[in-house]
Structure 1
Amino acid sequence: MWNNVRQLNFASSTLHALFVLALLGAAGVYAIQRPEFRLREIQIDGDTQHVSTPVVRASVVGHLKGNFFTVDLDAARATFEQIPWVRHASVRRVWPNALAVTLEEYKPLGTWGNDQLVSTDDELFTANQGELDDDLPAFDGPEGTAKEVVARYHDFEKWFAPLDAKPEEVTLSPRFAWTVKLSNGTQIELGRERNQDTLLGRSKRFVASWPAVTGRWGKDIEYVDLRYPNGFAIRAANMRFINDTDKAKK
Structure 2
Amino acid sequence: MWNNVRQLNLAASALHALLVLALLAAGCYWLVQRPNFALREIRIEGDTEHINAPTVRASVVGRLKGNFFTVDLDAARQAFEQMPWVRHASVRRVWPNALAVTLEEYQPLGTWGSDQLVSVDGELFTANQGELDEDLPAFDGPDGTAKEVVARYRDFRKWFAPTGASPEEVTLSPRYAWTVKLSNGTQVELGRERNSDTLSDRARRLTAAWSAVTQRWGNDIEYADLRYPNGFAIRAAGMRFISDPNQGKK
TM-score, normalised via structure 2 length: 0.97
The answer for the alignment partner of 1:199 in structure 2 is 199
Superimposed CA distance per residue, residues 2-23 of structure 1 (whole angstroms, 9 cap, x where no aligned partner): 2222111111111011001001
* Letter in structure 1 aligned against 2:203: S
Q: Which runs of 5+ in 1 are unaligned?
A: none
Q: Is the 8 A contact 1:230 1:245 kept in 2?
A: no
Cα-Cα RMSD: 1.1
Percent of aligned pairs with the same residue? Answer: 78
Partner SS, residue 199 of structure 1: helix
Instruction: State the alpha-carbon separation in 2 of the partners of residues 197 and 111 from structure 1.
Output: 27
Instruction: State the alpha-carbon separation in 2 of the partners of residues 118 and 77 from structure 1.
Output: 22
Matched, 1:84 2:84: yes
> Following TM superposition, by how much is the alpha carbon of 1:132 offset from its aligned partner in structure 2, in angstroms?
0.8
Superimposed CA distance per residue, residues 192-219 of structure 1 (whole angstroms, 9 cap, x where no aligned partner): 1111111111111111111111011111
Give the 5 Å matches for 1:173-184: 173-184=173-184
Partner SS, residue 30 of structure 1: helix
Partner SS, residue 31 of structure 1: helix
The answer for the alignment partner of 1:172 in structure 2 is 172
The answer for the alignment partner of 1:73 in structure 2 is 73
The answer for the alignment partner of 2:216 in structure 1 is 216
The answer for the alignment partner of 1:64 in structure 2 is 64
The answer for the alignment partner of 1:47 in structure 2 is 47
Give the 5 Å matches for 1:1-250: 1-250=1-250
> Following TM superposition, by how much is the alpha carbon of 1:247 offset from its aligned partner in structure 2, in angstroms?
4.6
Instruction: State the alpha-carbon separation in 1 of the partners of residues 194 and 232 from structure 2.
Output: 17
Instruction: State the alpha-carbon separation in 2 of the partners of residues 26 and 99 from structure 1.
Output: 26
Partner SS, residue 62 of structure 1: helix
Instruction: State the alpha-carbon separation in 1 of the partners of residues 88 and 75 from structure 2.
Output: 13
Q: Which runs of 5+ in 2 are unaligned?
A: none
* Letter in structure 1 aligned against 2:160: F
Instruction: State the alpha-carbon separation in 2 of the partners of residues 247 and 195 from structure 1.
Output: 19
